[in-house]
Chain A
Amino acid sequence: MNFDLSQEHQMIRKTMKEFADKVVAPGAIERDRTKAFPKEIFKQLADMGMMGLPFSEEYGGAGADTISFAIVTEELSRACASTGITYSAHISLGGAPLNLFGTEEQKHKYLTPICTGETFGAFGLTEPNAGSDAGGTQTRAVEDGDDFVINGSKVYITNASYAKHLAITAITGEVDGKKEISAIIVPTDAEGFTVIDNYEKMGLNASNTTELVLENVRVPKENLLGKRGEGFRQFLVTLDGGRIGIGAMAVGIAQAAFDRALRYSKERKQFGKPLSDFQITQFKLADMAMKIELARTMVYKAAWLKDQGRPFSKEASMCKLYASEIAMQIADQAVQIHGGYGYMKEYEVERYMRDAKLCEIGEGTSEVQRMVIARLIGC
């Protein structure tokens, strides 16, 4: 048993901590207000070789492990959760399915530009009537000669405005009365493909969340990603990895909220002493520190299992579920400790609270995580 991060992990953490504090944090309030996508930050991350972090050098990646991915996602999210989720989705939803299920040719063609940062990674799964319940999928891909002709729509798709291509799920047929769902790579500039970026969100305002409309979009059959009819299973595997990313993101937000709450409670004086001298504040802060420690440990454990090539679905769900819920609690308490100031944007903690909420929803709600865990513990 060894709880130490490797020398590389420590170096990645230190580098990303500095980068997050100096480059990512300063504009976070402004980007939240103006909904400006952090393009310049990602240009720098691409220069630092972070955009292809876990993927093979053959495709322009850096060949790092999942723990490194969790560290980078946590540090970015600590400074700006919009930047964190953009990164997490880029790697774990955009790049990972190509890496896992793509042919050699598809990887060179589609994964390489993701690794170099030339395009953002995205994944088109959720529909108005289908998310974790893939049975509700309505998007259809009909064979026509050598092509698929795709019709349908997707909602809440991260990064699609900045993606040159993405994998989407669609019904490709019917087997024994059940929908056959497959994943297909679609270029976003294909005729009939529209990306709509006009959601008004509660938080994560600087991240790109879009609606996709596909009207008779024609792509060659070779764009099938993985095996025909395996789209659903593939997306489950993809989401397992994505959940580690959301867990890390939640830990980052929680850490940011705790850091601010601790600092403020030492500065702010009421009734003749700092807030941190009151036991009620101390207990709040102690609980926060404990929960963050536990959540981070669980994120690392899930990431470690994944890196060992061992089953990690249960742990990924657990880390995502726990980290999201404690991030929400901690952000809430951080606002409370700040009192009236905490309700003001200037003090950042209210943003953490709005941003943290998404972690309990995206890539499987907390309820879905409990379903996954229940299934895996033998219910």
Chain B
Amino acid sequence: MNIYVLVKRTFDTEEKIVVSGGKIQEDGAEFIINPYDEYAIEEAIQVRDAHGGEVTVLTMGGEDAEKQLRTALAMGADKAVLINTEDDLDEMDQFTAAQILADYLKDKNPDLILAGNVAIDGGSGQVGPRVADLLDINYVTTITKLEINGTQVNIVRDVEGDSEVLETSLPLLVTAQQGLNEPRYPSLPGIMKAKKKPLDEVELDDLDIDEDDVEAKTETIEIYLPPKKEAGRVLQGDLSNQVQELVQLLRTEAKVV
């Protein structure tokens, strides 16, 4: 089975985000594999171990993303591909990412593509489904269970806490939800071998992509941190006074009524 995993390099969940000059500061920050993509990698490895084939992890971005790809290789992926957009693109959005990934994948005949449900940074959850649409294959998002028999695929997906059971067929793209599996720690032999596994780097030119064709369709106007959480207020006095005060505050201070 020819399996691809779409991986994104994101901020470590423990990082404190600092915004300055309208941009998120990356200096000195720790980066990780997007946690939802880790479920996708783990599932890909399990599917390969059960059905044979090869797992390729695919990401786009700069040179720095090599570290996350090597981690995926250490976990057990077979090959890695970095689409290096560092020199070609300053801005990208979901449209850009999906277009480039789909262009890369279109002649690779993937049987199964896995991605995270969302990236914890942008959080759009769009790239996976968009790629499937561009490749004209089936897709199912937020899956928590995956069973493959031949080309027949049985899936459980999470719908806001409920489960939906569905059947579909390969080729297929799925996005992983928490609960799909427990991602393994890279083993020491895996880490030692990761460097020897193939990691290809391609640029937009190699894919015959003109940067104007993948220009972002959206523009970021402003980036700001959520307001600091203030201490709450406990109203006192008798009940009718409290209600009166509450209504007053909702009108004048919170301005919600």
- Chain A positions within 8 Å of B, measured between CB atoms, are 7-8, 10-12, 14-15, 18-19, 47-50, 53, 57, 62-64, 68
> Once the chains bind, are B195 and A15 in contact (CB under 8 Å)?
no
Contact A8 B187 (CB under 8 A): no
Q: What's the nearest-Cβ distance from chain B to residue A202, in Å?
A: 32
Instruction: Report the minimal beta-carbon distance from B228 to chain A, rounded to whole angstroms.
Output: 16
A49 touches B187 (CB 8 A): yes
B191 located at the interface, meaning its Cβ lies under 8 Å from any Cβ of chain A in the complex: yes
A-B contact pairs, 26 of them (CB 8 A): A7-B67, A7-B70, A8-B191, A8-B194, A8-B195, A11-B71, A11-B74, A11-B191, A11-B194, A12-B191, A14-B71, A15-B185, A18-B185, A47-B187, A48-B185, A48-B187, A48-B188, A49-B187, A49-B188, A49-B190, A50-B188, A57-B189, A62-B188, A64-B188, A64-B192, A68-B188
- Collect the chain B residues with CB atoms within 8 Å of residue A10's CB: 67
Q: Does B110 have its Cβ within 8 Å of any Cβ on chain A?
A: no
Main secondary structure of the interface of B (DSSP, over half): helix
Q: Which of A11, A18, A48 has the most chain B CB atoms inside 10 A of its CB?
A: A11
Interface presence of B61 (CB below 8 A): no
Q: Does B125 contact A (CB under 8 A)?
A: no
B28 to chain A, nearest CB (A): 14
Which of the residues B71, B185, B192 comes within 8 Å of A62, measured between beta carbons? B192
A63 CB contacts on chain B under 8 angstroms? 192
0/1 string, B191-226, CB within 8 A of A gives 1:
110110000000000000000000000000000000
Instruction: Give A19's nearest chain B residue, CB to CB.
Output: B185
Which residues of chain B from 167 to 199 have a CB within 8 Å of any chain A CB?
185-192, 194-195
Number of interface residues of B (CB under 8 A): 14
Distance from A43 Cβ to chain B, minimum over Cβ atoms (Å): 13
Q: Report the bound CA distance from A50 to B191 in whole Å.
A: 11
CB distance from B183 to the nearest CB of A (A): 10
Question: Which residues from chain A contact B191 at a C-beta distance below 8 Å?
Answer: 8, 11-12, 15
A97 to B189, CA, bound (A): 22
User: Chain B residues near A12 (CB, 8 Å)?
Assistant: 188, 191
A232 CA to B219 CA, complexed, in Å = 72
CB distance from A293 to the nearest CB of B (A): 16
- Rounded to whole Å, the gap between the CB of B114 and the closest CB of chain A is 21
Q: CA–CA, A7 to B69, complex, Å?
A: 12
A34 to B194, CA, bound (A): 40
CB within 8 Å of A: which residues of B?
A: 67, 70-71, 74, 185-192, 194-195
Instruction: Beyond A50-B188, A57-B189, list 7 extra A-B contacts (CB 8 Å).
Output: A8-B191, A8-B192, A11-B70, A11-B74, A48-B188, A49-B188, A68-B188
Q: How far is the CB of B57 from chain A (nearest CB, A)?
A: 15
In the complex, A8 Cα to B191 Cα: how many Å?
Answer: 6
Q: Which residue of B lies closest to A8 (CB)?
A: B191
Q: In the assembled complex, which residues on chain A have CB atoms less than 8 Å from the CB atom of B186? A: 11, 15, 48
Q: In whole angstroms, how far apart are the Cα atoms of A14 and B185 in the complex?
A: 10
* C-alpha spacing A253/B253, complex, angstroms: 50
Q: Which of B70, B74, B189 has the most CB of A within 10 A?
A: B189
CA distance A60 to B192 in the complex (A): 14
Tell me how far the C-beta of A268 lies from the nearest C-beta in chain B, rounded to whole angstroms.
18
Contacts of B194 in A (CB 8 A): 8, 11
Instruction: Tell me the minimal C-beta distance from B23 to chain A in angstroms.
Output: 26
Specify which chain A residues have a CB less than 8 angstroms from the CB of B192 in the assembled complex: 8, 62-64
Q: Which residues of A contact B187 (CB under 8 A)?
A: 47-49
Name the residue of chain A whose CB is nearest to the CB of B12: A14
| CA–CA, A53 and B191, complex, Å | 11
Residues on the A chain within 8 Å of B74, using CB = 11, 15
- Output the residue of A10, A14, A64, A68 with the most chain B CB within 10 A: A14
Which of B186, B188, B192, B195 has the most chain A CB atoms inside 10 A of its CB?
B188
The minimal Cβ–Cβ distance linking A287 to chain B, given in whole angstroms, is 23
List B contacts of A50 (CB < 8 A).
188
State the Cβ distance, B64 to closest chain A Cβ, in Å.
Answer: 12
Minimum CB–CB distance from A102 to chain B (whole Å) comes to 22
Q: Smallest distance from the beta carbon of B199 to chain A beta carbons, Å?
A: 11
Nearest 6 interchain pairs by C-beta: A49-B188, A62-B188, A49-B187, A49-B189, A48-B187, A11-B191
- Residue on B with the closest CB to A60? B189
Q: Cα distance A134–B186 when bound, in Å?
A: 42
Q: Which of B67, B70, B185 has the most CB of A within 10 A?
A: B185
Q: How far is the CA of A11 from the CA of B187 in the complex (A)?
A: 10
| Nearest-Cβ distance from residue B256 to partner chain A, whole angstroms | 33
